[in-house]
Structure 1
Amino acid sequence: MDVPLWLALIVVGYLGIKLIRPPWWLVAVFLLGGYLIADSLLAPAINTVVK
């Protein structure tokens, strides 16, 4: 069974928000921070650490 990545991320995100109940400002900070870091000079360094 092949599940698209976007669908898996939506399901995991929805379950995480429902079960853990983080504050909405924290979710927004993580999303905005991840978006900004992905387009910064730190992206190659983070990519090597993650792989």
Structure 2
Amino acid sequence: MRFLILLFLASPAAATEFDRPIPNAQSATAELWFALASILLIAALFAVGRVVAKR
């Protein structure tokens, strides 16, 4: 009996269609934070490059 239940659950008739999730648009606040983080990362890399070049 368990085999029949497992067979039914594994059949394509019991499967539901997969709905691909749609990502939400990025908000203006998220874009601002990303731009700020990018600028700070570039500044930090530049500072590290200057410190390493002096040695």
Q: TM-score, normalised by structure 1?
A: 0.38
Q: Which has the higher helix share?
A: 1
Structure ID, larger Rg? 2
